[in-house]
């Protein structure tokens, strides 16, 4: 049971994420899919600029490069 007994409201973006296939995955795979999709979107926002993307999302550039390679986002 949740603290306070009330169920939290579900934001529309969370409903979209669940309906996009994340709900069918286990937690580990859902996190990986979310992370890959998030990084892909942020890189696109920054026109592929890794330094700017890393700064925007609060990640070291070297770690972002590792994630890009891990998820095949080159």
Per domain, the residue ranges of the chain are 27-74
| 0.85 exceeded by pTM | no
Task: Identify the pLDDT of residue 6.
Answer: 63
Evaluate whether the domain defined by 27-74 bears CATH number 1.10.10.60: yes
Task: Identify the pLDDT of residue 24.
Answer: 87
Question: Which of 74, 70, 9 has the alpha carbon at shortest distance from 35?
Answer: 70
Q: pLDDT tens digits for 23-65?
A: 888 999 999 999 999 999 999 999 999 999 999 999 999 999 9
């Amino acid at each position: 049971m949740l603290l306070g007994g009330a169920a939290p409201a579900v934001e529309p973006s969370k409903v979209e994420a669940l309906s996009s296939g994340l709900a069918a995955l286990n937690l580990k795979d859902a996190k990986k899919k979310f992370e890959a999709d998030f990084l892909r979107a942020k890189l696109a926002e920054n026109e592929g600029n890794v330094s700017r993307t890393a700064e925007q999302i609060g990640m070291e550039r070297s770690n972002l490069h590792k994630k890009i390679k891990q998820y095949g986002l080159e």
